[in-house]
Chain A
């Protein structure tokens, strides 16, 4: 076990409120264990700030084990930090150099207004789900096993899409602030399965309309979203959603 302690020069985005101007503020943190998560390191910073009588840095977090989708920061210019397939809460300080300068910014998008500091309002994603990302037909009681055949590939694709935790990193990383990866994952997880087919057209039409109303950008296939996605959701689902969409509108 390494017992060495690390220190970092943090540059953290501070912003008092939604309309207030924000700026990067320099902080120094010392005695950081390499095993600490990025959020635990920020906790240490906040202890220091509270002792000095300053307002602590506000950030979102919940499960701290990489499954709830609540945390999300842009760290050294990359959503959820430099390690692939990782949420901010499961990113460890050993992945940084001792003494490194680390910039910490909120997820930025017109559809994600900043509440304070690093906290953004991601309810736009909830409204996309509300616009059709569910199955509302009466499915009756649980069917017998294997009574509803699902091809293996379809089951795998649906499960891969369902891994999306809705953190919004795809939006944060996209040069266009597009929510295509999120929306397509929520379309695909149902569209691949028989239970999702009856409402497939209404679902995709409603979700894309809501996505556009929220002010997200277009998808121009940079693929940055897939690269930062903590669950490695593939842009294959974006291609799938597009096909579902024009089948729904034009078909």
Chain B
């Protein structure tokens, strides 16, 4: 136990956990984006997907997944912030003049702003979960009947459409998704560098691939709110019931 604690609090250990949780979170973000793309298939597909997440593994997937995400996000933020505070103590007096050396450096605007973008993303996450997971302010339900009993089921599709038709919310999402791209631009390759021996050619490849993946993920999340915002008649296709509960009417 003592060795585990000393590993955790060492400079090497903190970054190890930050990188490990970070890689897992990138995996989650990819799955999240793929799931969100059901929006393009319409209300039925999206509410079916939401219903699947609610009920998969006899309803066990959702609490287990939410607990795992809580641990991952919390652990990632905690270790990264504790490392950031330690780094600030590493240089008490700043340089009067300091500039990047260029050349072989991997320093970018993204790498210098990880703590700032991370904190904004964390704040956004609280709003995002309140909005779409708990549906605060968007109490839309559809009533479904199965086996003779009526179930109220949250209309996720309508919640999304209502939210992204508010210019303020769309603006917040666009801004934060650009920051997500910035965060991942340094985060993805950096996590691989932190997690093990990567040779110099592989590192340079990952430096580029990480940027490409970051741009793709950010674009993917940017397209959704823009698509919804540009929908002409958002009220049209509401009232969709998950097909597992009887399908569309």
A residues adjacent to B (C-beta < 8 A): 11, 13, 24, 74, 76-79, 82, 84, 103, 105, 108-111, 173-178, 180, 208-209, 211-212, 215-224, 226-228, 232, 234-236, 238-243, 245-246, 249-250
Contact = CB atoms under 8 A, between A and B. Distances in A.
Contact of B100 (A178, A224, A232): A224
A77 B15 contact: no
Contacts of A208: 10-12
A13 B93 CA distance: 13
Given A84-B101, A224-B101, A242 B106 contact: no
6 contacts: A212-B11, A218-B83, A218-B86, A227-B101, A249-B6, A249-B7
B99 A220 contact: no
Given A219-B15, A222-B106, A224-B105, A239 B196 contact: yes
Given A111-B90, A224-B100, A242-B16, A218 B111 contact: no
Given A84-B104, A222-B112, A226-B104, A110 B14 contact: no
Interface of B: 3-4, 6-7, 10-16, 83, 86-87, 89-107, 111-112, 114, 186, 189-190, 193-200, 203
Q: Which of A13, A74, A236, A242 has the largest count of B CB atoms less than 10 A from its CB?
A: A242
Contacts of B101: 78-79, 82, 84, 173, 224, 227-228
Contacts of A221: 106, 111, 186, 189-190, 193-194
B83 A234 contact: no
Nearest to B107: A222
B91 A177 contact: yes
Contacts of A110: 89-92
Contacts of A245: 10, 12
A242 B7 CA distance: 11
Contacts, number: 154
A227 B79 CA distance: 27
Given A227-B105, A239-B196, A219 B93 contact: no
Given A224-B101, A246-B16, A215 B90 contact: yes
A13 B107 CA distance: 26
Given A111-B90, A226-B104, 12 more contacts: A74-B95, A77-B98, A78-B101, A103-B96, A108-B94, A110-B92, A173-B101, A176-B91, A221-B186, A223-B105, A249-B3, A250-B7
A176 B85 CA distance: 10
Contacts of B194: 219, 221, 239, 242
A178 B87 contact: yes
A218 B88 CA distance: 10
A27 to B, nearest CB: 15
A148 B39 CA distance: 64
Contacts of B3: 249-250
Nearest to B203: A236
A217 B86 contact: yes
Q: Which of A76, A174, A216, A224 has the most CB of B within 10 A?
A: A224
A250 B89 CA distance: 28
A77 B99 contact: yes
A90 B152 CA distance: 76
Contacts of B15: 218-220, 242
Nearest to B114: A220
A240 B198 CA distance: 8
Contacts of B91: 108-110, 176-177, 217
A82 B13 CA distance: 33
B13, B99, B101, B193: residue with the most chain A Cβ atoms closer than 10 Å? B101
Contacts of A77: 95, 97-99
